Structure 1
Amino acid sequence: MTVAAAPARAGRRRLLVVCAALAVGALATWGGARPTWFSVTVPTVRGDALATATGTQVQPVPTALALLAVAGIAATVAVSGAARRVLGGLLALVAVATVWAVVATLVSPPAPARLAQLAGLTVTPGAVGEVSGAAAPVLTLAGAVLVGAAGVLLALRENGMPRLGARYDAPTAQRRPRQTDPDRTAWEDLDAGRDPTVGPTPGTAPGTGPEEIDDRPGRGGGEGAV
């Protein structure tokens, strides 16, 4: 029994790991996109001002991945089979796209005029400042990688993972007790020469009760027996 239960325990562990990775990855991806990613000091008509932009302002893809990961937790425990593998592949693809988008944004940060526009500042024409980045995108990248790893695990190792409510499925037709009609059973007993009002004697096989002995002459020890 222990050997038979080992695959089930391994499947439950994999399901727990996938759900935990999706939850932590979604939190990290979303949390890393909330703080400031870029800042720059730009001259305005009222003097120098600091223009900042968060990750959600410059790159909306991480937020979309976080929402997908949260929805993926519920879908992972609700579906199984091919649907679960498709979900894992989708999570992995969106995670890769998120990593690509974040890296591309870090390599080519927004221009100072764009940051000033996002901050609601009016800069003087031709003003140029030096854009500086923050460490928050690293947290977003880590979360996206974690979500992608969970998606790959779900797509490749789905077999054996339990599904929510599987133990409460309706019993199969073979397990359902056969329903009998008392009236029909009584008619069948009458056709077979049995009295439907008398149950079988304990320890006797059907058709061998005393009421079923043939009492024709010469048969079964009736009055006409010789």
Structure 2
Amino acid sequence: MSATRAPRRRAGAVAALLLAIGAVALWGASRLTWVTVTSSDGLGEDRVTTLVGGTWAAALTPLALTLLAAVAASFAVRGWALRILAVLVAVVAVAAAVPAVGLLAGGADDATAARIAELPARAEVTSLTVAAGPAVLALAGAVAALAAAVQLWRTPRAEAGLSSKYDSPAARREATARRDTADESVTERTLWDALDAGEDPTVDVADDPAADRGGEGGADDSGTRRTGR
């Protein structure tokens, strides 16, 4: 049991670390200047407007918060819910990468910059300065999030999630039955789970005299042979 839990815990820790890195990278990128717009309205001096990542790509901050929430969720869910979480994280990664790739590959155009900067209609964009660093940081965060999604997807579904101490009594009884069927080695955790399930882990069913009581031709505590009725 402990041999299978160790890889699962390592996988969960790696996924949580990657999610945290992705969230920090996206949040940092949302606070840095992506585009500097210089405009002129013909009435005065040129106007310089700086557009941070949270303005140029407004989804960066919500996506960073989503990755932070996924850190907690990665420890709380298991089974198919973990697969769904992996898909959602992958979608977040793609959504975060799109504006960064667009800016790095195609740059910024005057019309988009004027619209995002909310320039007046008479203003004309005279120059644009694109900062590649913040976009690269956002792209790195997206890559980290995508790697976390892959890690979550590869985490064993049966072993993912919180410790068994958070399971319901019915789930513990089912897990105990599975362990008995698989003839796994007894650990302290399995002993406690068996006690919680209302079973005596120190008594083997095959050797338990009480298992034969009440049946046809069973024996009571006095050793007297009983006949079925």
Q: TM-score, normalised by structure 2?
A: 0.67
- Measured in 2, the distance between the counterparts of 1:91 and 1:31 equals 19
Distance 1:54 1:161, change over 3 A: farther
1:43 to 35, 40, 45: 40
- Identical aligned pairs, as a percentage? 35
Tell me, yes or no, if structure 1 residue 176 matches structure 2 residue 198. Answer: yes
- CA–CA distance in structure 2, aligned partners of residues 115 and 51 of structure 1: 10
Deviation at 1:50, TM superposition (A): 1.1
Displacement after TM superposition at 1:116 (Å): 4.8
User: CA offsets, 1:27-55, max 9 Å, x none?
Assistant: 11111111110002222322112121111
Match of 2:21 among 14, 17, 24: 24
Contact 1:12 1:161 (C-alpha < 8 Å) held by counterparts: no
Q: Of residues 150, 153, 156 in structure 2, which corresponds to 1:155? A: 153
Aligned-partner Cα distance in 2 for 1:167–1:109: 53
Corresponding residue number in structure 2 for 1:80: 78
Match of 2:11 among 14, 18, 39: 14
Q: Does 1:206 align with 2:222?
A: yes
Structure 2 residue aligned with 1:61: 59
Q: CA deviation at 1:166?
A: 2.0
Correspondence 1:81-100 to 2 at 5 A: 81-100=79-98
Mapped to 2, the partners of 1:60 and 1:24 lie a distance apart of 20
**Aligned-pair CA distance for 1:145:** 0.6
Bigger Rg over Cα = 1
Deviations 1:49-104 (A, max 9, x none): 21211111121232232122111112111110111011101211221232123212
- Closer, same or farther in 2 for the Cα pair 1:119/1:89, shift >3 Å? closer
> Per-residue CA shift, 1:107-158, capped at 9, x if unaligned?
3444446545544554755x34221111111111101110111011111234
SS in structure 2 opposite 1:80?
coil
The 3-state SS of whatever aligns with 1:40 is strand
2-structure distance, mates of 1:163, 1:73: 12
**Following the alignment from structure 2 to structure 1, what is the Cα–Cα distance between the partners of residues 59 and 119?**
25
CA RMSD of aligned residues (A): 2.7
Q: Which runs of 5+ in 2 are unaligned?
A: 175-193, 201-219, 225-229
1:196-218 CA-partner distances (Å, limit 9, x unpaired): xxxx9xxxx6146xxxxxxxxxx
The DSSP-based 3-state class of the residue aligned with 2:222 is: coil
Q: Distance in 1 between matches of 2:156 and 2:15?
A: 10
Structure with bigger helix share is 2
Alignment length (residue pairs): 179
Q: Structure 1: which 5+ runs fail to align?
A: 179-199, 209-226
